[in-house]
């Protein structure tokens, strides 16, 4: 005997969104974090360039998550996509007072906060590539604010692990 | 890595509830009181009507502070534990959580002295959720045994318990204000903090009808997710006809709106037989009846009609369970031949009058697995009672699947 069942309509909710850039860090760190979180029963969404492009999310994925972890690496600031997302994460944090937790992997928190060193150079290069001269100053300061804000949250330096 | 996981586990927003609207400030309010009493045993009572968010608040507090306690216990849904052996179960659970050893207790007196011996001078955190009136003397005595800094949190619908337990502070869970209510409803109905412009007016009217009760907002909100305007209007129409204090009837809108009979009966099955049972166990039995239980259970969870806890056990809000029981009562009144009143007496044993058994068995057997799973489920209950009493001949005539299910039972 078969019963027809109404298909599930609600979009999935995720406990934790993990925002990062690059396959390298996914292999080295994010996958481990992901399995550690799943082991205690959290659902996770791996938030990287390809994950979001391949599917259309409606409503925006952030609204389906409850906590965001941002994994900063040396290459993070080389991705315009990441920097855009970070700006939205901060906005989401301010609107809904959700938690944002930075994790630093082989990078100094101060490099992120003040956009110094390698991280800072890559940051500037990305900005110059992405924006026209007219937009540049304004857009860059918004990215920069998002980075500083995030780096001011309580976070972890994971460089010594693994 | 571990510290990240630990920190996340401690975030109250992550496990207490899906959309913690206005929760943090309430949590902090209680924690401030706890901190003020950090040298003595602090007993806190959280009162409020059913569905007002007592359990959520208590859980969120527990999540926030449990890291500071070596011995801790959170026991949910105490009212739903059977009354006769309830006290013993409660004591066993407490000892199991606090000492991490399994003990069997034969009498309340024995449990009392064990708790006294083994837990004296310990700093503990205990959350007793939905306490009707169990064991007031025990809880009162506990206070004298535990070390200063211990915290006991009790949630209850019964405000009179305050005197019985002599709680230090009593928090009445306030109704959500209009703004919070609208936000909570929007999260459930639109997955956004605010309703879209064109729904604003209707959402506000739903909020008015829900009187700031989070449970009603959640159940009705999820029901309204991705509904058309006409469906909104029909829900509003129904809500208006329901007296404002009849929360159960409001919740029933969601039950009535389930898309087919199978899901409705599944809800009643869970309500009757599977609260506190493992999700896999329940699906196995129900799948054995030819029901697509996995997807059905998923729908019910999405509609917030049932829930699954961390140990993968099925649960249900007490008010929703009461609603389910009333629906079953009505069914059995309207269709007396079905006589589906198989009440669960204790957690494991079912009380069946012989007549009831026979009629429901024959009815179910004749319709040969064709009339919905609710009856089928009763047959398992019935089979099991036969199994226990040694009359196994009945089983031979049943299909293989059912015998399988019976073996699981």
Of B10, B308, B302, B301, which Cα lies nearest the Cα of A67? Answer: B10
**Using an 8 Å Cβ cutoff, are B189 and B304 in contact?**
no
A9 in contact with B at a CB cutoff of 8 Å? yes
Nearest C-alpha in A relative to B227: A9
Residue A129: inside a domain: yes
> Nearest C-alpha of chain A: how many angstroms from B169?
29
Residue of A nearest to B3 (CA): A156
Rounded CA gap, A44 and A33, in Å?
A: 10
Is A104 within the bounds of a domain? yes
For residue A32, the distance in angstroms to the closest alpha carbon of chain B comes to 8
Q: Kindly report whether the peptide bond that precedes residue B108 is cis, defined as omega within 30 degrees of 0.
A: no
- Cβ burial B364-395 (10 Å sphere, 16+ → b, else e): bbeeebebbbbbbbbbbbbbbbbbeeeeeeee
Contact A42 B8 (CB under 8 A): yes
The distance of B284 to chain A (nearest Cα, Å) reads 15
What is the helix (H) or strand (E) element at residue B216, kind and residue range?
helix B214-223
In a domain, A135, yes or no: yes
Q: Name residues 96-115 of chain A within 8 A of B (Cβ).
A: 96-99, 101, 103
**Contact residues on chain B for A9, CB-CB shorter than 8 A:** 225-226, 302
Q: How far apart are CA A108 and CA A103, in angstroms?
A: 10
Does ipTM top 0.85? no
Position A65 in a domain = yes
**The listed CATH number (1.10.8, 2.130.10, 1.10.10, 3.30.70) that belongs to domain B178-256:** 1.10.8
Under DSSP, the state recorded for B176 is: P
In a domain, A123, yes or no: yes
By the 10 Å C-beta count (0-12 exposed, 13-18 middle, 19+ buried), B228 is classed as exposed
Q: Which residues of B touch A5 (CB under 8 A)?
A: 259-260, 262-263, 292, 295-296, 299
Looking at the complex, does the CB of residue A15 fall below 8 Å from at least one CB of chain B? yes
Residue A8 belongs to a domain = no
What are the C-alpha distances in Å from B241 to residues B212, B234, B365?
18, 11, 40
Q: Can you tell me the distance from the alpha carbon of B64 to that of B31, in angstroms, rounded to the nearest whole number?
A: 9
Our count of domains for chain A comes to: 1
Residue A54 lies in a domain: yes
Residue indicated by tokens 């998923």: B298
What's the length of chain A? Answer: 162
Fold of B2-172: Rossmann fold (3.40.50)
Domain with residue A77: its CATH number is: 3.40.50.10140
- Across A25-59, b (16+ Cβ under 10 Å) vs e yields bbeebbeebbebbeeeebebbbbbeeebeeeeeee
Q: Which residues of B touch A8 (CB under 8 A)?
A: 295, 298-299, 302
d(CA B126, CA B134): 15
Instruction: Please report, for chain B, the start and end positions of each structural domain, with discontinuous segments joined by +.
Output: 2-172, 178-256, 261-408
Minimal C-alpha gap between B302 and chain A (Å): 7
- pLDDT digit string (tens) for chain B, length 409 residues: 778 887 777 665 566 777 888 887 888 889 888 888 888 889 899 999 888 999 999 988 888 787 788 888 888 877 766 566 677 888 888 888 888 888 888 888 888 888 888 888 888 999 988 887 655 667 777 778 888 889 999 998 887 777 777 788 889 998 899 999 999 999 899 888 889 999 999 999 999 989 889 999 999 999 999 898 899 999 999 998 998 788 999 999 999 998 887 788 888 888 877 888 888 888 877 776 667 788 888 889 889 899 887 678 888 998 999 898 888 777 766 655 444 334 333 333 333 333 333 333 333 333 333 334 444 455 555 554 444 444 444 444 333 334 333 333 3
Residues 22-51 of A with CB under 8 A from B: 32-33, 36-37, 40-42
Closest CA to B178 of B45, B304, B22: B22
Of B4, B225, B298, nearest to A33 by CB-CB distance is B4
């Amino acid at each position: 005997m078969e019963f027809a069942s109404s298909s599930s309509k609600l979009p999935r909710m995720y406990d934790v969104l993990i925002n990062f850039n690059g396959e390298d860090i996914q292999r080295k760190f994010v996958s481990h974090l992901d399995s550690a979180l799943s082991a205690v029963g959290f659902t996770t969404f791996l938030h990287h360039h390809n994950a979001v492009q391949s599917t259309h999310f409606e409503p925006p994925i952030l609204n389906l998550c409850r906590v965001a972890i941002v994994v900063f690496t040396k290459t993070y600031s080389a991705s315009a996509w990441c920097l855009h997302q970070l700006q939205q994460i901060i906005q989401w944090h301010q609107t809904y007072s959700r938690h944002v937790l930075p994790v630093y992997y082989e990078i100094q928190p101060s490099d992120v906060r003040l956009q110094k060193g390698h991280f800072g150079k890559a940051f500037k290069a990305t900005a110059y590539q992405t924006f026209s001269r007219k937009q540049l100053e304004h857009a860059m300061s918004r990215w920069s604010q998002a980075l500083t804000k995030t780096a001011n949250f309580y976070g972890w330096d994971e460089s010594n692990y693994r | 890595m571990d510290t990240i996981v630990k920190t996340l586990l401690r975030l109250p927003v992550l496990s207490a509830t899906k959309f913690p609207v206005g929760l943090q400030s309430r949590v902090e309010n209680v924690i401030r009181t706890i901190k003020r009493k950090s040298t003595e045993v602090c007993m806190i009572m959280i009162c409020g009507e059913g569905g007002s968010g007592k359990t959520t608040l208590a859980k969120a507090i527990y999540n926030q502070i449990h890291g500071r306690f070596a011995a801790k216990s959170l026991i949910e849904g105490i009212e739903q534990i059977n009354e006769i052996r309830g006290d013993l179960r409660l004591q066993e659970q407490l000892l199991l959580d606090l000492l991490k050893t399994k003990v069997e207790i034969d009498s309340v007196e024995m449990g009392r002295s064990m708790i006294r011996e083994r837990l004296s001078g310990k700093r503990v955190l205990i959350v007793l959720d939905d306490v009707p009136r169990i064991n007031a003397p025990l809880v009162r005595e506990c206070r004298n045994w535990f070390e200063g800094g211990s915290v006991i949190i009790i949630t209850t619908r019964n405000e009179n318990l305050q005197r019985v337990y002599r709680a230090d502070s009593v928090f009445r869970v306030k109704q959500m204000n209009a703004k919070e209510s609208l936000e909570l409803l929007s999260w459930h109905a639109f997955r956004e903090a605010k309703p879209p412009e064109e729904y604003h007016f209707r959402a506000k009217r739903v909020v008015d009808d829900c009187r700031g009760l989070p449970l009603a907002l959640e159940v009705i909100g999820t029901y309204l997710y991705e509904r058309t305007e006409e469906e909104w209007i029909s829900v509003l129409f129904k809500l208006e006809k329901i007296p404002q204090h009849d929360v159960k009837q409001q919740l029933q809108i969601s039950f009535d709106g389930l898309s087919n009979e199978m899901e409705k009966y599944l809800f009643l099955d869970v309500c009757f037989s599977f609260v506190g049972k493992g999700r896999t166990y329940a699906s196995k039995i129900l799948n054995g009846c030819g029901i697509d239980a996995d997807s059905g259970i998923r729908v019910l969870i999405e509609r917030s009609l049932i829930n699954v806890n961390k140990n993968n056990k099925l649960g249900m809000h007490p008010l929703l369970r009461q609603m389910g029981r009333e629906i079953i009562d009505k069914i059995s009144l309207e269709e007396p031949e079905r006589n589906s009143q198989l009440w669960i007496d204790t957690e494991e044993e079912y009380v069946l009058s012989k007549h009831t058994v026979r009629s429901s068995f024959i009815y179910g057997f004749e319709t040969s697995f064709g009339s919905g799973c609710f009856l089928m489920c009763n047959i398992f209950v019935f089979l099991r009672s036969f199994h226990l009493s040694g009359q196994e001949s009945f089983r031979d005539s049943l299909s293989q699947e059912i015998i399988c299910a019976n073996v699981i039972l």
